[in-house]
Structure 1
Amino acid sequence: MLKPLALAGLILTAAGVSQAEPRPERHAQVLLDALREISGVPGMGAAVWQGDRLRWQGSSGLRDIEQRLPVQGDTRFRLASVSKPFAAVAAAQLRVQGRLDVDGALGPLLPELEPTLAALTPRLLAAHLSGLPHYEARDAGRGGSHHATARSSLGYLKDRTLRSVPGSRYLYSSWGYTLLAAAAEAAGGKPYLELLATRVAPGLAIGPDETGRSSAMTKAYDFGVMGLHEAAPHDYSYSWGGAGLAGTAPALAEWGGRLLQGRVVDVATRDWMWQPVLDNAGQPVGERTYKMGFGWRLDTDAEGQKTVHHAGVTAGARSVLLMWPQGRDAGTSVSLLSNAMWTSSIERSAELLSAPLRAPLPGLQPQPCPVEVSRFEGELDGAALAGRARFRRDADGLCRGELGLPAALARVVNPGPQPAADKLAVIGLQGELARAALVTPIGLADWRAQADGSVLVDNLASRRLAIRLQQ
């Protein structure tokens, strides 16, 4: 008969086993490797910037499967929609210089626009309030030609019908950022990529996506019915502002650090960007858990600290930049980049990936590494489940475990397109297993020990998972 695991019964005196927690940098690398392995993504890069320095840079897996070339610190990944904040920052810089009225109509800057688009404003575009649609069926061939400037791609917007009255509701649109980048280009008097290199992200390994044209780039992969395959060629120059950039994980994290320090735009402008934009009814706009600022998503972490972030997904990429502007972790910037499209809770994954390098959480319920367990029972949204479990301490003293995957939980964490897993990993974050990361194909979820000996797991596709470990 299985008996609930009594915390007091776990004695941490195994001969020759160190109970010291590993170095934070090593800890973060273990998390990155585990996430990359269970997701099936070929390669990942990540970095944490704190204060005025790069605290950690991690690389995992391959940038080129065929040639078995590893991801390195200087490997560039597609940023996908993490490109959008760069266009927003370009517009904010021009606002400070008095060269761009963010509430003024675009028509005087871009006289080639049709009247409906000419009446839009940069603020509407940056907050996805313009009414412009996202990609439509007519856009299927959009990656087949190259554009030297942002403005030269405005032909794609000809005869576009707005989906809603401007300012009335949030409607995500990458085409809105094609238009915002063109407006910045016109107001700045320079090609958009020159603005990026000289004013927005000078000296950083961030620039146009050159997948297939530059050895600095990782190859881009997608999951198909036969497994991984190289993504079809796609030229993102039609949307430098919306999806067309690439960069290294350290460069992206450093750019976030510069923003936090007020080195890209002044602090007042930064804070202005990080205020919710209001719709015509005076209500803040956004979706899921975040509100939308001027090009940025305004959110909170698991502890209620304010965060600012943006994520992206496209063929051959999944990406995020996450920052803490205030609170216990103020000054921290985290990047997480990958070279395949996969379904993930990537913002929370970046949050947990960086946890070993951030301030430890107070008030956690102690839970030593449960090396004696063999099973778990629990509930997923109230429905019972059970499976096998085992835990160990690795050579660094890190508590690590495996959970078998019951069918009900498998349906949550195996949505595809990445390969389905048959088990999940657990990696301690703090206090052995007081806090841990549950490593799943859809990202890292937050494992917290409870006073009654159970565990609650948060950030698992908005589901509630309770676990009780058993001997």
Structure 2
Amino acid sequence: MTRNYLLVLLLLISSLACKTNRPLTDPNYQTAIAQARKLVQDTRRDSHFPGIAVAVSVKGKLVWSEGFGFADIAEQEQIDPDRHLFRIGSISKPLTATGLALLYQQGKIDLDAPIQTYVPSFPEKEYPISLRQLGGHLAGIRHYNGTEFLSDKKYETVLEGLDIFQDDPLLHEPGSKYAYSSYGWNLISAAMETAAGEDFLSYMEEKVFDPLDLEHTFAEHMDQTYEDRVSFYELKNDQLELSPYVDNSYKWAGGGFISTAEDMIRFGNAHMHPGFLNEETWLTFTRSQTDNNGKMTNYGIGWRSGEDNKDREWFGHSGGSVGGTSFLAIYPEQEIVVVTLVNLSSARLNNLPFRIANQFLTQ
């Protein structure tokens, strides 16, 4: 009886320990971690972050994971990078792009077919629009107008979300110039539903989140309770205030997912090289597209790409949402992934993810 009691007590203590924000650090990277930690602490102080989760992997291994500050200021709840859910904003685009890439790889979708092939209800425009153009922000679909970014309306389906912009004219001839648009990804998710034969969120869970072990990655539903979701803040006159209520169901595919820093590390490592996707698909989605004049856009299909200040190639994505600022950076040659998640609108990162990466790249 005593042994059973002690066993239960030890298991309880162990489970409580797993709920702490104790940092994960690899002794082989002590110097890099110490320098990166100072960068994070200084940036958090100077930019007034309520909290930030940081995670870094090298050659597929998580070598640093740490939370700074608070998931909830009033409750003084410390950030845990393995547990706390942040709004990841436009990092949702690479997630959705992965689902699209699988359909492309399976021959279920043609990236260059007119969008009405998959979404017949979408009004025809002066020029045809393709999924490739939509995914690379070359289609001429507009971005947010006015207060749309603060929408608090619940949309039950992907098709409902198209009502926001589908009757508006194109900004320009598709392919002629780059113009960032999260709404283009609404249209992509509607096409994915047709190609997959199921609703977008179910498909993403079954084909992307579950296979990649993204156990803490979800479409945010405001009518659901998430025990570990952070509180969301904005900065006004150097004072932190709770962000206004929003419902991101109008843009799940392009900016409506929530996740943890460590889940995003797992996602980044799955795209470090061909593997989850075959090489042709991986290159099609990660390398830069060009406009009609041959100008590089530094954007593939759902993925940004470029070089840091040391001319090292990277790809990934930033994210901005109400109460959230995020960044995912992948260095394929050096096999390093860096993730930063902040529970603050328009947080001033000041190139923090690249400065963190530099500590590990130069060790």
TM-score normalised per structure 1: 0.66
Counterpart AA for 1:60 = F
Deviation at 1:345, TM superposition (A): 4.8
Matched residue, 1:51: 59
Residues 317 and 339, structure 1, Cα contact 8 Å, conserved in 2: yes
Report the alpha carbon displacement of residue 22 of structure 1 after superposing the two structures with TM: 4.5
Aligned to 2:358: 355
Amino acid aligned to 2:317: H
* Aligned mate of 2:281, from 260, 266, 269: 269
* Structure 2 residue identity aligned to 1:101: D
Q: CA deviation at 1:213?
A: 3.4
Q: Which amino acid aligns with 2:218?
A: G
Partner of 1:297: 304
Q: Return the offset for 1:357.
A: 2.9
Give a deviation string over 1:55-88, Cα, whole Å, max 9, x none. Answer: 2111100010111111112111101111111122
8 A Cα contact 1:32 1:58, kept in partner = no
Counterpart residue type for residue 76 of structure 2: R
Paired with 1:302 and 1:121, the residues of 2 have a C-alpha distance of 34
1:319 aligns with 2:330: no
Which of residues 224, 227, 238 is equivalent to 1:215?
227
Q: Cα gap change, 1:109/1:342 in structure 2, threshold over 3 Å: closer, same or farther?
A: closer
Within the candidate set 290, 309, 317, 1:310 is matched to: 317
Q: Distance in 2 between matches of 1:213 and 1:316?
A: 17
3-state DSSP class of the match of 1:260?
coil
Which amino acid letter does the alignment assign opposite residue 317 of structure 1? G
Matches of residues 427-446 of structure 1 in structure 2 within 5 Å?
none
1:270 offset after TM fit, Å? 1.2
Mapped to 1, the partners of 2:97 and 2:137 lie a distance apart of 12
* Superposition map of 1:7-406 within 5 A: 22-73=30-81, 74-116=83-125, 119-137=128-146, 140=148, 143-202=151-210, 203-204=213-214, 205-210=216-221, 213-225=225-237, 227-285=239-297, 291-326=298-333, 329=334, 331-345=335-349, 348-360=351-363
1:332-388 Cα offsets, whole Å, 9 max, x none, are 111111000235355x3112113333343xxxxxxxxxxxxxxxxxxxxxxxxxxxx
Distance of aligned partners of 1:257 and 1:159 in 2 relative to their CA distance in 1, 3 Å threshold:
same
CA–CA distance in structure 1, aligned partners of residues 139 and 294 of structure 2: 15
Amino acid at match of 2:86: F
How many percent identity over aligned positions?
25
Q: Does structure 2 retain, via aligned residues, the 8 Å contact 1:111–1:118?
A: no
Deviations 1:112-142 (A, max 9, x none): 11112993111111111111111113x5386
Q: Which amino acid aligns with 1:353?
A: I
Cα-to-partner distance string for 1:221-276 (whole Å, 9 max, x where unaligned): 00113711101111111111111011101111110011114343223311222222
8 Å Cα contact 2:49/2:347 also seen in 1: no
| Partners of 1:49 and 1:151 in 2: CA distance | 38
How far 1:47 sits from its partner (Å)?
0.6
Displacement of 1:28: 2.9
Name the structure 1 match of 2:19.
Answer: none
Distance 1:82 1:316, change over 3 A: same
2:57 alignment partner, SS class = strand
Amino acid at match of 1:206: T
**Separation in 1 of the partners of 2:149 and 2:287?**
36
For residue 312 of structure 1, report the CA deviation from its aligned partner.
1.4
TM-aligned CA deviation for residue 35 of structure 1 = 1.8
Which runs of structure 1 show a deviation greater than 4 angstroms over 4 or more consecutive aligned residues? none
Q: Is the 8 A contact 2:150 2:322 kept in 1?
A: no
Residues of 1 paired with 2:251 and 2:102: CA distance?
A: 20
Q: What SS does the aligned partner of 1:168 have?
A: coil
CA contact (8 A) 1:63 1:218 kept: yes
What's the CA shift string for 1:66-111, capped at 9, x where partnerless? 1111111211110111111112222111111111100111112111
> d(CA) in 1 for partners of 2:194 and 2:176?
27
Higher helix share: 2
Answer whether contact 2:127 2:173 (CA < 8 A) is retained.
Answer: no
Matched residue of 2:339: which SS? strand
Query: Is the 1:106–1:118 Cα contact (8 Å) retained in structure 2?
Result: no
Calculate the aligned-residue CA RMSD, in Å: 2.1
Any conservation in 1 of the 2:52–2:340 contact (CA below 8 Å)?
yes
- Aligned residue pair count: 330
Change (3 A) 1:253 1:141: closer
User: Of the two structures, which has the highest relative contact order with CA contacts closer than 8 Å and spacing of 6 or more?
Assistant: 2
Taking the aligned partners of 1:142 and 1:34, their CA distance within structure 2 comes to: 30
Q: How far apart, in 1, do the equivalents of 2:113 and 2:50 lie?
A: 45
- Residue 178 of structure 1 aligns to a residue whose secondary structure is helix
2:56–2:65 Cα contact (<8 Å) kept? yes
Aligned mates of 2:193, 2:324 — CA distance in 1: 26
**Max radius of gyration: which structure?**
1
User: Cα–Cα, structure 1 residues 22 and 106, in superposed 2: closer, same or farther, change >3 Å?
Assistant: closer
3-state secondary structure, aligned to 1:273? helix
**Inter-CA distance 51–198: structure 2 relative to 1 (3 Å threshold):** farther
- Over 3 Å counting, the alpha-carbon distance change for 1:273 and 1:334 in structure 2 is same
- The separation in 2 between residues aligned to 1:155 and 1:351, in whole angstroms, is 38
Residue pair 1:316, 1:339 contacting (<8 A) in 2 also: yes
The AA in structure 2 aligned to 1:297 is: R
